[in-house]
Amino acid sequence: MNGQRNRGLGPWLLGICLIAACFAFGSVVAGAATTAGKSRTNVSIRFSELGANDFRYTVRVRPRKCRKNRRVIVFHDENGNGRLDGGEFVIGKGRTNRRGKYVLASDVAPPDGDKIGVLVKKNRKCRSGRAGVTRPSGAPNR
């Protein structure tokens, strides 16, 4: 053997593990940096029955820097998880005004006791937000 030792896979495997660890750490830091400067979006929704087949959905978005021109989706949240899943129908889509308000007048509403969900999409400054309200059974909510 001439005084040389067989080193095996030890150093090679250690080098590969160090490279993988550096890559994983870099991915975590990059992922945290994408949401670090963004504000949390607070969303509220109000449901009103105006007549027999006349419904109004009012959505408000806060804080101030997150209000203007946000994409809004109002949907029937069948399973109550707050997400728009397959099989759940969209009631309406639109954008908030400069004060963070979106009003949707529609003749579509989920059955009594079911949830109505709202999803506000993220933008450069703010994270996405969601909220929900349960349609009251019986008496209209004005």
pLDDT at 9 over 80: no
Which tokens sit at 63? 């804080």
Residues 50-109 have pLDDT tens digits of 888 889 999 999 999 999 999 999 999 888 888 888 888 999 999 999 999 999 999 988
* Residue 74 bridge partners (DSSP): 92, 118
- Pairing between β-strand 71-77 and β-strand 101-106 as defined by DSSP bridges: unpaired
* DSSP H or E run through 25: helix 10-36
SS3 84: coil
Question: pTM here?
Answer: 0.68
